[in-house]
Amino acid sequence: MSEPEGEALSVAMEREFPFPPERIWRALTQPHLLEEWLMKTDFRPDVGQAFSFSAEWGSVRGEVLDAEPHRSLSYTWGDDHLRSIVTWTLTPTRGGTLLRMEQTGFRRDQPRYFMGAKAGWPRFFDNLEQLLAKIA
């Protein structure tokens, strides 16, 4: 990463999936599907809606900042020490959908959070890919 000193760090991933944006949107926004690839949640894609994600390692809280069905989704992601923003962008392609995720807002004095996100998101994307192949 080449951010100037003092700027926040971010983690970004992109992957093209051979599925339409509508299928991916469902996996990003429906609690029973989110639970299968990400974490247990009470998520609803309504701007201003508060929610939580929980797993065996702990939990995070969030609030929906933006939700444009089948195109983009943004929400806060944090706890008492971390305040980050996760943004999903869905771009239709000839073969399906390019999905981009970026989590921004990691302070340089938060290496545990930053390294956790760098290690965790690739696994979450793999889980998402497996789920997308199963749902219609």
Give the tens place of pLDDT for each residue, 107-136: 999 999 999 999 999 999 999 999 999 998
Domains of the chain: 11-134 (3.30.530.20)
Q: What is the largest CA-CA distance in the chain?
A: 46
Coil vs helix vs strand at 75: strand
pTM of the model: 0.92
The arrangement of strands across the sheet holding 40-41 comes to 9-17, 96-106, 83-93, 72-78, 58-68, 50-55, 40-41
What is the per-residue pLDDT across 36-89, written as a single tens digit (0 to 9) for each?
Answer: 999 999 999 999 999 999 998 889 999 999 999 999 999 999 999 999 999 999
Q: Phi/psi at 7 (nearest 5 deg)?
A: -80, 155
